[in-house]
């Protein structure tokens, strides 16, 4: 499976071929790349140079020639962690403590953090008529 360099892994598609060039050609057409795919990378960013380096069902990044870029989802995760760290550094360790407080509605008796009792309890069973 391959996904475009720097994009989310959700775009990954199956490709096959008997050589590195066939895999790159298949990736170009199936992903609709605007340039020919020229480089395959492992998920760690190591360039794949020979067909023998590829494992069956391996997820790879395909590039039109640009250096390896982390998948978009990983970029978001890294940015969230960085923002979290900056907030703790600037405002103290309690800055990232999440506290959720909710007031009960006096007219509707529902637990806002769980399913209503009707959704989890068995309804009363009617006796079978003979």
Domain boundaries, the chain: 2-63
CATH for 2-63 is 3.10.20.10
Rounded to an integer, what distance in angstroms lies between the CA atom of residue 77 and that of residue 88? 17
pTM above 0.85, yes or no: no
Q: Is the pLDDT of residue 28 over 90?
A: yes
Distances (CA, A) of 118 to 26, 88, 114: 53, 42, 11
Worst-scoring range by mean pLDDT, 23-32, 39-48, 56-65, 84-93? Answer: 84-93
User: Average model confidence (pLDDT) for the chain?
Assistant: 85
The residues pairing with 60 across neighbouring beta strands, listed in sequence order, are 2
* Contact assessment for residue 4 and residue 64, using Cβ atoms and an 8 Å cutoff: no
Q: Name the pLDDT band for 109 (thresholds 50, 70, 90).
A: confident
Convert the pLDDT of each residue in 57-70 to its tens digit. 899 999 999 999 98
Q: Name the pLDDT band for 22 (thresholds 50, 70, 90).
A: very high
Rounded to an integer, what distance in angstroms lies between the CA atom of residue 62 and that of residue 43? 10
Query: Residue 112's pLDDT is what?
Result: 67
Query: Residue 121's pLDDT is what?
Result: 58
């Amino acid at each position: 499976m391959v996904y475009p360099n720097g994009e989310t892994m959700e775009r990954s598609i199956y490709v096959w071929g008997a050589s590195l060039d066939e895999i790159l050609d298949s990736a170009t057409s199936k992903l609709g790349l605007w340039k020919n795919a020229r480089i395959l990378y492992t998920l760690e960013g190591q360039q794949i140079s020979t067909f023998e380096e590829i494992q069956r069902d391996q997820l790879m990044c395909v590039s039109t020639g640009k250096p390896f870029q982390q998948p978009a989802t990983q970029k978001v995760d890294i940015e969230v962690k960085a923002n979290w760290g900056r907030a703790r550094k600037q405002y103290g360790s309690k800055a990232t403590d999440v506290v959720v407080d909710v007031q009960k509605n006096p007219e509707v008796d529902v637990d806002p953090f769980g399913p209503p009792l009707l959704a989890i309890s068995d309804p009363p069973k009617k006796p079978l008529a003979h």
